[in-house]
Structure formats: structure tokens, C-alpha cells
Structure 1
């Protein structure tokens, strides 16, 4: 997989935004919206929103997306979200979510293609949304079975549901982002010491 840099700017419906690096593109994708109480964070409203998300680095997959692709993407996204949270909580992985991830992973993934001069790579055409979703599902499987399997974390803030893979050398990352929950925690601790 040609995925190297991760992270996206997340926007709070109440205003403001912050950079959040989940440590893997599939986890960044899991934070592109949600169901139920997380529907207010939805960014994938139309197929064009999905196409735009997939076209951004590091995937850089230019694909035409349909309503069917959008529905499939949201199904995979929810499965990744549920599985990541279960792994972070050290609970059994949800059977239905695992089955969904496996189903998406079974489809042919993106295939990298080197330019003739050897200076650039792209995805071999034709690129389909199903291939990108397969690539994301396979990345999630690699995370769950690889060296970072025990490094899934939920933000230590008591009201932040963001999940990430802690790839820091000491494995001591606690916050979704220092500029958000980390700083809020420091401010609360400072106020508590003063009072």
C-alpha cells in the first residue's frame, strides 16, 4: 500500500477545527462522520464528498463515486469504527463488523503502478471506489494483526470518542490532539491547582 502520511483536519459542528492524526488512513476514514449521536460530524453527504475524501493524500485515488459506493463506504466506515473502539477497550471484536471488514478486503485492492521514468507512482487504471475501500479494509486488518494491535487508544478525555493507533516510540500518547483535548486537560489541571 502506498499510504504514508496520515491525518485530517476535523471540524467541530459548534465551531473550530483541529488536526487529528489517527495513525492510519483507515482510522482517519472512520472519523469522517458517523451514525446516531455522531451524525452531526458527517462529512460524506453526497458521492462527490466521498470522491473528494478519497482523492486527498495519501490515498490520492481519483474515482467516480456513486450513491451505492457512498452507502458501501459508510458501512465499512462503521465497521472500522466499531472494531477500533472494541480493540481500544480490549473487548472482543464485534462479529458483524469483522465480517464487514473481511467482505470489503476480499475485493481486489488498489494496484500501484510505477511511471516509466521511475519518478512517480499512481494507481493502475481503472480505479474504482471498491478498490479503495478494499485497501482501507486491508489496512485495518494489518493494524489489528500487526505490531500496533495493542496500541489502539481512545482519547483520554472523558468526552472525546476519537480513536487512534499510538505509534509513538514510548507508546504514551493519550490525547486525540494536544491542541484540543491535551490542552483542555492541562487548563483544567492548572485551574484545579490554583483553586
Structure 2
């Protein structure tokens, strides 16, 4: 599932983080990630989720997020950011991070088949706690699965995006070939021409 992002330069590009727990990192975070913070109210999270990997599985029509749930999702996101950075740079995981992820692994949205349409839907209302549970369950799968060593930070020096490299050879370096990969190719070409 790809998202269309727009950089500070106004250029739009597609980006696939490879996992919902990493897709949450697109909403901001601590430190230098605070510039990108978009989760100020529960409605902000509900709006953002409409284009998420979860919504690609089934529409999130009946979504209810309380302020405490938003705070919990943001705390999980910030922990996941520190975990993803540690994995991407082959460092030890931050102290307490695994406990935070484990504690968040609660209930998840329940799927169902709509009898009228035959399509997959979620049993509503879907809560912020269930969103948090879905992200935590996926983080546990990522941290204990075959792609643990494939969490990457974009190789561009001015890009902060993190993703799971699900490519067959495991050689993905860029958040997007449309953006950072292309910029690198242009820069390398110009360097060779001089």
C-alpha cells in the first residue's frame, strides 16, 4: 500500500513504508520529526487513517478515537520511531521499547463480511485502542519475523523516511525512486559529467 506524500519542496511522490507500524511514523514524532506532526486532535488521527494500510483492507467508516487513545497512539509511534531507527542503523533497541510495544498489543479491529455487499468491513465502532493494537501486533510481527533486518532509513542525506525493504534482493535504499532515488541518479550523473 503506497501513500502519496508531498515534500517541503512541493513535489509529490509515492512511498510504501511496508508496514502499518512504520506508516504511523509519517504523522510526526519527537525532535526533528516534530516539524511533520499532524496528530493534534482525535479527528486528525481519524482523518489520517482514511488513507492508511488499514483502510486499504476495509473502509474505516465507523471510527471513534478518544483523546487518551490519541495520546497512546502517539506514544507508541514515538517508541516505534526509536525502534525503527535502532534497527535501521544496527544499534541496540532502546530500553523499555519492547515493553511499550507488548503493552500496546491489545484488541484489534475485527473484520466481517457485509451480507449486503459481500465486501470486507470492520465491526464498528473501530476505536483508537484497536488502531493501537493493530500497529503493535504488526510491530511484533516485524520485530520477530524475517524482515527485522530489513528496516531501512532512506539513504538520501536530507530524508527521514523509514521503511521495510520487502524487495526480493533486499537492496532498496530509497524511500521512493520518484524522489530520492531519482535525485541521487541526477546528482551522480552531474558528478560524472564534471
Q: Is the TM value for this pair above 0.5? A: yes
Corresponding residue for residue 134 of structure 2: 135
Q: Point out the more displaced range, 130-139 or 40-49.
A: 40-49
* Residues 7 and 28, structure 1, Cα contact 8 Å, conserved in 2: no
Corresponding residue for residue 173 of structure 2: 174
SS of residue in 2 equivalent to 1:19: strand
Q: Distance in 2 between matches of 1:76 and 1:146?
A: 20
SS of residue in 2 equivalent to 1:10: strand
Which residues in structure 2 correspond to 1:73-152 (within 5 Å)?
Answer: 73-105=73-105, 107-116=106-115, 119-152=118-151
Residue 80 (structure 1) shift: 1.1
Corresponding residue for residue 67 of structure 1: 67
Q: Does 1:50 align with 2:49?
A: no
* Residues 13 and 41, structure 1, Cα contact 8 Å, conserved in 2: no
Q: Point out the more displaced range, 30-39 or 111-120.
A: 111-120
Q: Point out the more displaced range, 182-191 or 47-56.
A: 47-56
Unpaired runs of 5+ residues, structure 2, are: none
Corresponding residue for residue 20 of structure 2: 25
Name segments (4+ residues, structure 1) moved above 6 Å: none
* Residues 3 and 51, structure 2, Cα contact 8 Å, conserved in 1: no
Residue 87 (structure 1) shift: 1.0
Residue 140 (structure 1) shift: 0.9
* Residues 54 and 63, structure 1, Cα contact 8 Å, conserved in 2: no
Residue 117 (structure 1) shift: 6.3
Q: Distance in 2 between matches of 1:43 and 1:116?
A: 36
Please, what TM-score do these two structures have when normalized by structure 2? Answer: 0.89
Residue 10 (structure 1) shift: 2.3
Corresponding residue for residue 161 of structure 1: 160
Q: Distance in 1 between matches of 2:71 and 2:9?
A: 26
SS of residue in 2 equivalent to 1:179: helix
Unpaired runs of 5+ residues, structure 1, are: 1-5
Residue 13 (structure 1) shift: 3.6
SS of residue in 1 equivalent to 2:13: strand
SS of residue in 1 equivalent to 2:107: coil
Q: Tell me how large the CA RMSD over aligned residues is.
A: 1.8
Q: Distance in 2 between matches of 1:99 and 1:9?
A: 32
Residue 182 (structure 1) shift: 0.6
